[in-house]
Amino acid sequence: MVRLLEGSSVRVRVPGSSANIGPGFDSIGLALGIWDECVATVTAEPGLVIEVEGEGAADVPRDDRHLVHRSMVRAWEQLRVKPPAGLHLSCRNAIPHGRGLGSSASAIVAGIVAAQGLCDMATGRDSADNTFDRAFTNNLATAIEGHPDNASASVFGGMTLSWADDVDSGQIHSVQLEVTADVIPLLFIPATQLPTATARAVLPELIPHCVAAQNSARVGLLVEAVTRRPELLLAATREWLHQEQRRSSFPDSMALLDTLRGKGHAAVISGAGPSVLVLTTPPQIEEARALADHSVWRVLAPGMPLMGASLERVST
């Protein structure tokens, strides 16, 4: 069993993400240029020390329940690495919590990547920065998170399409779509939060076959729209699986979505909400911005980074 080196340290940066993009429920996600950063250091002094600043600092636990630490432990179990007696985590969070912007997936990915980096430093393998197993990270993050769309976007960057080998099991696979530069993500972020579990609890377990058929057609159209024909974005982001069913969970978000779509903008709920995402183009971005009450909504154009999580060896 591998033992980690005292004094070894890595820095990980992970982008936020929007998921459930329109009809792409639990399958299509996109990376957002909002980054969380974590430095993990193996210490000679026994014990776990966690420092957190930024988003969620007042709410997240500072013990072994912390999501970054829990994800590191899960990764070390898979890698057959003995967890260190002493570990220091310093986390700087920029991704808003409970807004449907992938903060949980980002923390999970950060932990898995940091665990690999410290392991590789102990074994002398893959000494270059930014070298880690993205497929392993994607699969383990999905296993912890429960769905692949946020995790894959944070791991690979860009817009990702993910699937499993079978309906309820098997390896997770993801591809990065070649999104045209004309497509720009625009976020409308409220002050209110909504736990993902609460939002998912209202979804029906069964849907009619005709609804599934219509929704799957729009997924194909969404791929065409983001890669080649952005004029199809409004039609391509129509869906039947998850947004209307959650209207009572975030009525203000759905009201804004209705307003934006009524004016021709491709608005969707970001992840489990309550943030709203618009896939827009340069000529439309200012009109879309103007449709929101800026005293209620923080409007942000974060960009879509084409590279996901990054790893840097700080010391040996």
CATH number, domain at 261?
3.30.70.890
What residue type is 227 in one-letter code?
T
Query: What pLDDT sits at residue 219?
Result: 97
83 and 191 assigned to the same domain: no
Domain identity same for 139 and 74: yes
Alpha-carbon distance 191 to 172, whole Å?
33
Tell whether 197 and 256 lie within a shared domain: yes
Please tell me whether residues 199 and 173 are part of one structural domain.
no
Instruction: Supply the CATH number for residue 162's domain.
Output: 3.30.230.10
Of 92, 100, 73, 95, give the one whose Cα is nearest residue 84.
73
- Looking at the fold, whether 161 and 254 belong to one and the same domain comes out as no
Q: 55 and 134: one domain? A: yes
CA distance 194 to 274: 6
Predicted TM-score (pTM) of this structure: 0.95
Taking CA atoms, 110 is separated from 115, 200, 228, 298, 312, in Å, by: 8, 24, 32, 26, 12
Number of domains composing the chain: 2
- Output the pLDDT for position 124: 84
**155 and 227 belong to one structural domain:** no
Contacts of 263 (CB under 8 A, 6+ apart): 287, 288, 291
Whether the CA torsion 40, 300, 182, 220 is positive or negative: it is positive
Q: Residue holding tokens 């209202």?
A: 202
Distance CA 173, CA 139 (A): 8
Same domain as 157, residue 16: yes
List the chain pLDDT tens, one digit each, 316 residues.
Answer: 889 999 999 999 999 999 999 999 999 999 999 999 999 999 999 999 999 999 999 999 999 999 999 999 999 999 999 999 999 999 999 999 999 999 999 999 999 999 999 999 999 876 667 789 999 999 999 999 999 999 999 999 999 999 999 987 789 999 999 999 999 999 999 999 988 888 788 888 899 999 999 999 999 999 999 999 999 999 999 999 999 999 999 999 999 999 999 999 999 999 999 999 999 999 999 999 999 999 999 999 999 999 999 999 997 5
Q: What is the 3-state secondary structure (H, E, C) of the chain?
A: CEECCCCCEEEEEEEEEEEEECCEEEEEEEEEEEEEEEEEEECCCCEEEEEEEECCCCCCCCCCCCHHHHHHHHHHHHHCEECCCEEEEEEEECCCCCCCCCHHHHHHHHHHHHHHHHHHHHHCCCCCCCCCCHHHHHHHHHHHHCCHHHHHHHHHCCEEEEEECCCCCCCEEEEEECCCCCCEEEEEEECCCCCHHHHHHCCCCCCCHHHHHHHHHHHHHHHHHHHCCHHHHHHHCCCCCCCHHHHHHCHHHHHHHHHHHHCCCEEEECCCCCCEEEEECCCCHHHHHHCCCCCCEEEECCCCCCCCCEEEEEEC
Give the dihedral of Cα atoms 282, 283, 284, 285; nearest 10 deg: 40
Same domain, 170 and 191: no
CA pair distance 206, 171, nearest whole angstrom: 24
Check: CB of residue 160 under 8 Å from CB of residue 28.
yes
The residue behind tokens 């799957």 is 216
Contacts of residue 231, defined as CB under 8 A and 6 or more positions apart, other chains included, come to: 225
Residues 68, 100 within the same domain? yes
Residues 84 and 231 in one domain: no
Domain extent for 218: 184-300
Max intra-chain CA distance, the chain: 61
Residues 141 and 200 in one domain: no
